[in-house]
Amino acid sequence: MAKREMRKSLKWDIDNLFKSPETAEAEFQQAIKRRKLDDSTSSTPPRVRSDPRDALKPKLLLHLTRLGDGHRLDCENLANLIHYCIFGSKSIQKPRWATISQHRYLLQTLVVRVNVEDNFFATTNLKFLNEFFDRHWLELGADISDRRLFWNSLMNVRLDLKEQIKRKTDRMQKTFDLLGKFDRSHFVLTTEQMAERNFPFPGEEGIVATKMRYKKITHSSPLYSVDCEMCETTHANRELTRISLIDEKQNTILDTFVKPRGDITDYVTRYSGITAKMMEGVTTTLEDVQRAIQNLLPPDAILVGHSLEHDLSAMKMTHPFCLDVCHSLNYTNNVFENRNSLKSLTEMFLGEQIQTEYGHCSYEDAWAALRLAQLKIQEGIVFGVASYGWKYSQYREEQKLKNGDGEILKSTQNSTVAPIPCTGCLGPTVVGCTVVNCRCRFVAGPAQCVSCCVRNLVSEEGDFDWRETLEVDLEMERVTSPIENYVKKDKMKSVLMGFEAPEVLEKMPEMGRKIHLKLPSSFPTYSSFIDNVASEMLNDSAIFIEIDRKKVEPLPRSSPEDDEGEVVDNSEALNEILEKLVAATTKNAAIMMIFSSPSKNTLFKNIK
Ligand SMILES: [Zn+2]
Ligand SMILES: [Zn+2]
């Protein structure tokens, strides 16, 4: 039901977004009329509306204390906020001090910069400003007064962490050096490789680090292998429903079902091995699992897995030392395009079967990844990678000579181990596995259940903060990319520039359907410029406009008998311009108005 409503609302928004200029113009005129009508009937009490879309209205929250005491948003901050409004947190680095809920319903961002004189607010009262923004205003940093800096900041988007890392391969060497370069670390993914593969990184929204502080890895840093099972839920496409973590001795350290936030809509049992019956009465949450893992892992743990970025994304966790067997082993030539499945790697290199018709158990997947990682460390960098010149046929021959048959590294356990109850609460410590003769029954289980791990264990911390080592690198240079690159990536995005761009921009963007320009100076009057922008802006996701208060023509005077010598007041006209622009935006548009004078800058912000 909720889903259907959401879809309906989205369709409504999209229909609105793609209205032709003619219908947009008609809509705009109607909006103006409605607005006037509202004003004239303001004495009647407001109607109570139960529009379901109101619940989906985006909200913009600023947590300015996170910027530090007395800190004001400067040009870079403000641009970051505006880009967050336009592109959302998926494509850009979201500011830590701002949150937009229901961002996907925020379809348009209108930014109006009004250049005013220093005593503007002391002498001018804009009715519309007070009404529309209520008290949603804040003072900005002094550098906003520099309009060149302002527009150049807006037209260049700060690269997100992953993007910056990708572009700075050589510089990442410094971080890599800090992380250590001994035996096992050769097999650990570099930060750059992790960025390329879209691993979660510290500081990303909703991502929790496995440690506050890590320790440099050494030849004796322990391996821990992890595998997650996911189900489809109403909350997310893939949500964590089971996780197995095992140590180097193949013993289970943690094995639990996890109650997803949303209701499960598809158990994808064929892949997850999870059924509705298994999930009955499960109360362990993702947060419990995260805390247990923080307590269980040592600060120099090397996390092992197959396509680990999927597991870490499901766990909503980040970890700096990752050994991914699908990166370390690839017997087909195409290392980066084509991953070998865990099942085929296990058959190929271990001569063992997993994920058989008997069912699927996450312990077995974690076990297989661990064995593959151990084999790789034992055999070296070139081993198992066809693109490095390694040949399977040759390897197979060598193995036959060594062992007399084709069996490689068979597992050794042969008696089942009865599960021992939790030493803390006597509850179960592992998941009741349903796979016939599953390997998980032949190994020792954890001493404590998840909640006892959270309650009784204390996280062992190392000596450096991973995030800091990444950020030190980032501060070296402010890396940005022209906004056009971001706009081109998303077919829903386009920018309308309504300011003297050639005069202020260091580099003009390439004009076209995605970015277009309306020069205020090319219109006979300011009001014709505003009318033109307002009639066409419905099609654009971002509208950047600059208005010089001095140049705004006053409204035609109604009382011609006024004193001849008096300075003509244009505040009514300015008021009307701002009102017109806001009226022309779509529903749920983010409206940012920046009043900039040489010594004072003020931001008015609201969601329409
Ligand atoms: Zn317990
Ligand atoms: Zn099992």
CB 211 within 8 A of CB 462: yes
Asked whether the predicted pLDDT for residue 71 surpasses 50, the reply is yes
Number of domains in the chain: 2
Q: What are phi and psi of 271, to 5 degrees?
A: -95, -35
Q: Are 449 and 424 in contact (CB under 8 A)?
A: yes
- Give distance in angstroms: CA of 423 to centre of ligand 1: 6
Query: The domain spanning residue 382 has which CATH number?
Result: 3.30.420.10
Give the three-class secondary structure for 244. strand
Return the H-helix or E-strand segment holding 591.
Answer: strand 590-596
Residue 153 tokens read as: 């900041």
Write down how long the chain is.
Answer: 608
Residue 297 has pLDDT above 90, yes or no: yes
Task: Give the model's pLDDT for residue 69.
Answer: 62
Distance of CA 144 to the CA centre of its chain: 27
Decide: 504 and 147 in contact? Cβ < 8 Å.
yes
pLDDT band at 183 (very low <50, low <70, confident <90, very high): low
DSSP H helical ranges for 278-408: 286-296, 308-315, 325-328, 342-345, 362-379, 392-403
User: How many A from CA of 456 to the centre of ligand 1?
Assistant: 9
**Model pLDDT for residues 111-170, shown as the tens digit of each residue:** 999 999 998 888 888 888 888 988 778 899 999 999 999 999 999 988 776 666 665 544
Q: What phi and psi, each to the nearest 5 degrees, are found at residue 238?
A: -135, 115
CA distance 538 to 585: 6
Q: Does the residue 305 lie in any domain?
A: yes
Question: With bands split at pLDDT 50, 70 and 90, how would you rate the model's confidence at 333?
Answer: low
Which ligand gives the minimal distance to the CA of 430?
2
As a whole number of angstroms, the longest Cα–Cα distance in the chain is 112
Structure letter (DSSP) for residue 549: G
* Ligand in nearest proximity to the CA of 449: 1
Distance 455 CA to ligand 1 centre (A): 9
Query: 112: domain range?
Result: 17-40+51-158+481-552+568-607
How does strand 322-324 pair with strand 302-305? parallel
Contact 306, 226 (CB under 8 A): no
Q: How far apart are CA 606 and CA 590, in angstroms?
A: 6
Structure tokens at 113: 């910069």
Å from CA of 211 to ligand 2 middle: 28
Query: Buried b vs exposed e over 483-498: b needs ≥16 C-beta within 10 Å?
Result: bbebbeeeeebbbbbb
Q: Please, what is the Cα angle at 152 between 124 and 504, to 5 degrees?
A: 75
Residues 456 and 584 in one domain: no
pLDDT at residue number 417: 78
Contact at 8 Å (CB) between 228 and 311? yes
* 243 three-class SS: strand
Asked whether the predicted pLDDT for residue 589 surpasses 70, the reply is yes
Distance, CA of 89 to CA of 82 (rounded, Å): 12
74 and 140 Cβ atoms separated by less than 8 Å: yes
pLDDT at 197: 84
Q: What is the pLDDT of residues 28-54, one digit of tens each?
A: 455 545 544 444 444 444 444 555 556
Distance from residue 8's CA to the centre of ligand 1 (Å):
46
* Distance (Å, whole) CA 196 – CA 314: 18
| Lowest mean pLDDT segment, chosen from 21-35, 220-234, 454-468, 512-526 | 21-35
- In angstroms, the CA 262 to CA 246 distance is 27
Asked if residue 84 lies in contact with residue 76, where contact means CB atoms within 8 angstroms, the answer is no
Summarised one tens digit per residue, pLDDT across range 514-561 is: 999 999 999 999 889 999 999 999 889 999 999 999 989 888 765 555
Residue 195: inside a domain, yes or no? no
Task: In whole angstroms, give the CA distance from residue 564 to residue 331.
Answer: 89
The pLDDT of residue 36: 46
Residue 523: give its domain's CATH number: 3.40.720
pLDDT at 520: 93
Tell me if 189 is assigned to some domain: no
Q: What is the mean pLDDT of the chain?
A: 82
* CA 244 to centroid of ligand 2, rounded, Å: 10
Phi, psi of 606 (to 5 degrees): -165, 160
Output the 3-class SS for 489-500.
HCCCCCEEEECC
What pLDDT score was predicted for residue 12?
A: 45
Q: Which two tokens stand for residue 515?
A: 């970015």
Is 163 domain-assigned? no
Reference 540, options 112, 107, 156; nearest CA is 107
Residue 548 backbone phi and psi in degrees, to 5: -95, 115
Q: Considering the domain boundaries, does residue 4 fall inside one?
A: no
pLDDT at 467 over 50: yes
Residues 376 and 492 both lie in one domain: no
The rounded Å distance from CA 424 to ligand 1 centre is: 5
Q: Does one domain contain both 405 and 528?
A: no
> Which H or E element spans position 546?
strand 542-548
Rounded distance between C-alpha atoms, residue 18 and residue 541, angstroms: 11
Last residue of some domain: 448, 473, 498?
473
Q: Which ligand is nearest to the CA of 450?
A: 1
Percent of the chain with pLDDT over 90: 41
What's the 308 CA to ligand 1 centre distance in angstroms? 28
- Whether the CB-CB separation of 315 and 362 falls below 8 Å is answered with no
Lowest mean pLDDT: which of 157-166, 463-472, 482-491? 157-166
Task: State both tokens at 376.
Answer: 């790789």
**Relative to the alpha carbon of 367, which ligand is closest?**
2
Confidence of residue 471 (pLDDT cuts 50, 70, 90): low
pLDDT tens across 266-291, in order? 888 877 888 888 888 899 999 999 99
pLDDT at 5: 52
Q: Which of 473, 504, 538 is the last residue of a domain?
A: 473
pLDDT > 60? residue 326? yes
Q: Is 333 exposed, middle or buried (0-12, 13-18, 19+ CB in 10 A)?
A: exposed
Sign (positive or negative) of CA dihedral 24, 483, 196, 478: negative
Q: How confident is the model at residue 56 (pLDDT cuts 50, 70, 90)?
A: confident
Inter-CA distances, 571 with 106, 170, 527, 546, 599, Å: 30, 55, 13, 16, 20
458 & 396 share domain: yes
Which of 473, 500, 524 is the last residue in one of the domains? Answer: 473
Ligand 2 mean position to 310 CA, how many Å?
20
Q: Is the dihedral of CA 116, 120, 125, 131 positive or negative?
A: positive
pLDDT of residue 47: 46
Query: Quick one: DSSP state of residue 112?
Result: E
Span from the CA of 355 to the centroid of ligand 2 (angstroms): 10
Residues with Cβ within 5 Å of ion ligand 2?
361, 363, 433, 435, 438, 440
Is 469 inside any structural domain?
yes
The rounded Å distance from CA 260 to ligand 2 centre is: 21
Ligand with an atom nearest the CA of residue 455: 1
Same domain, 457 and 528: no
Q: 104 with 238, same domain?
A: no
- pLDDT recorded at residue 288: 96
Residue 361 CA to ligand 2 center (angstroms) comes to 4
Is 349 within the bounds of a domain?
yes
pLDDT of residue 270: 78
Backbone φ, ψ for residue 291 (5° rounding): -70, -40
Residue 497 and residue 461 share a domain: no
